[in-house]
Amino acid sequence: MVDVDKAMAEVANYIVGPEEAENMLKKMKSSVGYMDDIQDGDIEVLVGALDFLRFQPNDPLISKGEEASWAGFIMEGSVGVMVGEKQVATLKGESLYANI
């Protein structure tokens, strides 16, 4: 039997609310040139159309050999790239913005 309240509480850890998602997009827009043509109304549309998810430490995003089924931006924090048990790279949201 599934504990629905527990499952919903766990899911809530991953979902970013619309206000926070809007703030993330505005921060990203101010940091990267390729978003210069994005207007405030466009941000509202993106918040409504995209899924903004927060991953927990050590959550796998994709495994070697797995076909990608989505694309994403690192809005905050970082992602470790693991090969076997060894971390071979780190992708950071802040450096992503600075290097584009």
Q: What is the pLDDT of residue 94?
A: 59
How many structural domains compose the chain? 1
Owner of token pair 């584009």: 100
Q: What is the pLDDT of residue 44?
A: 95
SS percent in the chain: helix, strand, coil, step 5: 45, 15, 40
Q: What is the pLDDT of residue 14?
A: 82
Residue range 72-84: average pLDDT? 87
- Residue span of the structural domain in which 94 resides: 4-99
Residue range 57-68: average pLDDT? 87
Higher-pLDDT residue of 98 and 77 is: 77
The answer on pLDDT for 96 being more than 60 is no
Burial profile 57-67: b = 16 or more Cβ within 10 angstroms, e = fewer: eeeeeeeeeee
pLDDT band at 88 (very low <50, low <70, confident <90, very high): very high
The answer on pLDDT for 100 being more than 60 is no
**Tens digits of residue pLDDT in 29-56:** 888 888 889 998 999 999 999 989 888 8
